[in-house]
A and B are shown apart, each in its own frame.
Chain A
Amino acid sequence: MTKSTRIAFALSAIAVVAVVGTLSSATTNALWNGSAPIAPITVTTGTAALAVGLSGADPTPNALTLPSGFVTGFLPGDRHDQGITLSNTGSVPLEVSATGSGVPGPMTLQLSTGSCTAEPAPTAPTLSDAPTRILSIAPGNTEVCLSLALSADAPTGLQGTQLSAALTVNLIGVTSPDDH
């Protein structure tokens, strides 16, 4: 073996040892992991609640009584509007649907979003016994407009008659799927 051959052999041996040493060191690293306590997490549940009131008045839970002027004295083609404040007193957005019962045949009951205007929006939903989606409301107050109209074709025989014993509008708020 020449001298140069011996030197090359020696360097190769060192390199092999170094690689093996490195591999051995990586394998044993896991054994050095430590642990620490995590800070407590508070899980808070949302609330869903509605209140309702005539526009300009404080909304109250449960129910309101519509003013008599809203439901009396109709002539053909008359439309009476009543602004309503719908208040989402919960903490999550609500999808609001509505039903209207006791609506006489020649009349139309509509609920439109926003304050009452000269004419309800053409797309304002007509309420019936079946729930109709109205709008999505975030927590806080939202104005809607209830419109009751007597058909322009109502016959004269209806004059002075009671068209319905009572009118009831139910407003149902449901949490959005996205909030679960």
Chain B
Amino acid sequence: MTTNRRSHLRRLRGVALLLTASLGMLAAAPAYAGWTAQVRADSGAVTAGTLSVSAAGLNTVAGSFTGTVRSATGSIVVTDMSATTSTQAADVTVAFSAPAGPAALTSVLSIAAWWTTAATCDASTVQPVNAATGTWGAGLTLTGGSLGRGASQRACVRTAYANMQDVASVTGSQSFQPVVTATSRVRGFASTAPEKATASTTVSNIFPLVIPDASWYQVVLAGTSLCIDVADNMKASGTKAVLWTCHATATTLATNYYNQSFRFNPYAQDLTMTPRHAQDTVLTMGAVDGATATITTRNLPSTNQQWQLQQVNTSTYALVSSDGRCLTAQSAAASALLVPAACAQLAAQKFQLRLSDTKA
């Protein structure tokens, strides 16, 4: 083959390749360029909502306890204050605590709380079996509340104690300010509203119990020379106890004055008071306000026949029936009746013990 002929063949191959490539490119290229149209949707700032909750009525939760008032029922109202468009209901809990209260008191004051649809909660409100229960000292959390936007929910709260001596103190009074912390929660978002009541939960006029030995004592109205005396030295059940001039005693009281002599006998957590001249009877508090104390046949465990000798101060005592009422002299005069009244550290409620005979 000559050189010219080889050159001619190369040119032919080149042309063939160029044609092939061009056809290939034409086949692979987009077959069209589309028409387009565009629209847009814009918004303002995208924001998250805010949960907020409040609790009201805390002062109704704070109770005022005495020997006769051992339970207090109030309620709090939890309200959703959230700033959100969300329709999701918030889970609500309410925690009750007494962070600054005396442990001796808060540890024995029980608390029960439950959600209610009632408009109010009071002493007559029945506590459901599923109420949350605990003590103020340990704290209590009521769960299971649910609040929609702007809605409110009421929770009944009952505080109580069982035995006077559980809440007794040397000063006779103890108190604390309840703290109620409401929390609303929607998944990871939470809002907490800790609220301290402006009112205090108080226990008043309950003093420690004293148990004298088995001696016989005259019981003297403090600051006077008047003693508790079974009227006319009568022995019959139902005879009134009155104030009468204390018979003088050196070491032992004369037999005929045994109607002024009493012995304190432990009974359960309390005492009975037995008059020495009629030992089958016991001193009995009047059943109702204004009803005079008497000696009556033992009928235990009648609350009117059980007493606590509560030490008000170093040398004076309150004679408190086990239902929490104080024996009260109607006046500081001979023949004055002894009637029940609310304990208030009155002079008419303070007595002293004078040993009349150590003989059992």
Mark A residues whose CB is within 8 Å of B.
46-52, 61-66, 68-78, 80, 84, 86, 90, 92, 94, 102, 104, 107, 146, 148, 150, 152-156, 158-177, 180
Given A75-B186, A152-B187, A177-B31: A166 in contact with B43 (beta carbons within 8 A): yes
Closest CB in chain A relative to B357 CB, distance in Å:
74
In whole angstroms, how far apart are the Cα atoms of A171 and B50 in the complex?
32
Report the nearest B residue to A87, measured CB to CB.
Answer: B39
In whole angstroms, how far apart are the Cα atoms of A172 and B76 in the complex?
56
Q: Is the CB of A162 within 8 A of B47?
A: yes
B32 touches which of A77, A166, A170, A180 (Cβ 8 Å):
A180
In whole angstroms, how far apart are the Cα atoms of A180 and B33 in the complex?
9
Q: Is the CB of A75 within 8 A of B48?
A: yes
Query: Number of A-B pairs whose CB atoms are under 8 Å?
Result: 173
A77 touches which of B43, B45, B186 (Cβ 8 Å):
B186
Q: Which residues of A contact B32 (CB under 8 A)?
A: 177, 180
A73 touches which of B31, B37, B38, B84 (Cβ 8 Å):
B84
**1/0 per position for B17-37, CB-CB distance to A under 8 A?**
000000000000001101111
Given A167-B42, A180-B31: A74 in contact with B49 (beta carbons within 8 A): yes
Q: Is the CB of B45 within 8 A of A72?
A: yes
Apart from A161-B47, A171-B41, A174-B35: 15 A-B pairs, beta carbons within 8 A: A50-B39, A63-B39, A65-B41, A71-B43, A73-B49, A74-B86, A75-B51, A76-B189, A80-B85, A160-B48, A160-B49, A162-B47, A169-B41, A173-B38, A177-B32
Report the nearest B residue to A82, measured CB to CB.
Answer: B41
Q: Which residues of B contact A62 (CB under 8 A)?
A: 39-40
B40 touches which of A73, A165, A170 (Cβ 8 Å):
A170
Q: Is the CB of B37 within 8 A of A72?
A: no
In whole angstroms, how far apart are the Cα atoms of A86 and B38 in the complex?
11
Closest CB in chain B relative to A102 CB, distance in Å:
7
Report the nearest A residue to B38, measured CB to CB.
Answer: A172
Q: Is the CB of B42 within 8 A of A48?
A: no
**1/0 per position for B178-213, CB-CB distance to A under 8 A?**
000000001111110000000000000000000000
Closest CB in chain A relative to B321 CB, distance in Å:
55
Q: Which residues of B contact A159 (CB under 8 A)?
A: 48-51, 189, 191
B39 touches which of A51, A77, A150, A176 (Cβ 8 Å):
A51
* Tally of B interface residues using CB under 8 Å: 31
In whole angstroms, how far apart are the Cα atoms of A176 and B32 in the complex?
9
Q: Is B269 an interface residue (CB 8 A)?
A: no
Q: Is B88 an interface residue (CB 8 A)?
A: yes
In whole angstroms, how far apart are the Cα atoms of A165 and B45 in the complex?
4
Q: Is the CB of B43 within 8 A of A48?
A: no
Q: Is the CB of A73 within 8 A of B41?
A: no
Given A159-B51, A169-B40, A174-B35: A75 in contact with B187 (beta carbons within 8 A): yes
Q: Is the CB of B189 within 8 A of A72?
A: no
Closest CB in chain B relative to A111 CB, distance in Å:
10
Q: Is B301 an interface residue (CB 8 A)?
A: no
Report the nearest B residue to A103, measured CB to CB.
Answer: B46
Q: Is the CB of B188 within 8 A of A65?
A: no
Q: Is the CB of A71 within 8 A of B47?
A: yes
Q: Is the CB of B37 within 8 A of A158?
A: no
Closest CB in chain A relative to B208 CB, distance in Å:
48
In whole angstroms, how far apart are the Cα atoms of A35 and B188 in the complex?
85
A163 touches which of B35, B41, B48, B83 (Cβ 8 Å):
B48
Q: Is B44 an interface residue (CB 8 A)?
A: yes
A-B contact pairs, 8 of them (CB 8 A): A68-B43, A69-B85, A71-B44, A74-B47, A75-B84, A153-B187, A168-B41, A176-B34
In whole angstroms, how far apart are the Cα atoms of A150 and B187 in the complex?
11
**1/0 per position for B80-121, CB-CB distance to A under 8 A?**
000111101000000000000000000000000000000000
Q: Is the CB of A77 within 8 A of B84?
A: no
Q: Is the CB of A160 within 8 A of B50?
A: yes
In whole angstroms, how far apart are the Cα atoms of A152 and B204 in the complex?
51
Given A75-B86, A75-B88, A164-B46: A174 in contact with B36 (beta carbons within 8 A): yes
Q: Is the CB of A174 within 8 A of B34?
A: yes
Q: Is the CB of B44 within 8 A of A171?
A: no
B46 touches which of A75, A167, A174 (Cβ 8 Å):
A167
In whole angstroms, how far apart are the Cα atoms of A52 and B84 in the complex?
28
Q: Is the CB of B40 within 8 A of A171?
A: yes
In whole angstroms, how far apart are the Cα atoms of A62 and B188 in the complex?
39
Q: Is the CB of A90 within 8 A of B37?
A: yes
Closest CB in chain B relative to A50 CB, distance in Å:
4
Q: Which residues of A contact B48 (CB under 8 A)?
A: 73-75, 150, 154, 158-161, 163
Closest CB in chain B relative to A174 CB, distance in Å:
4
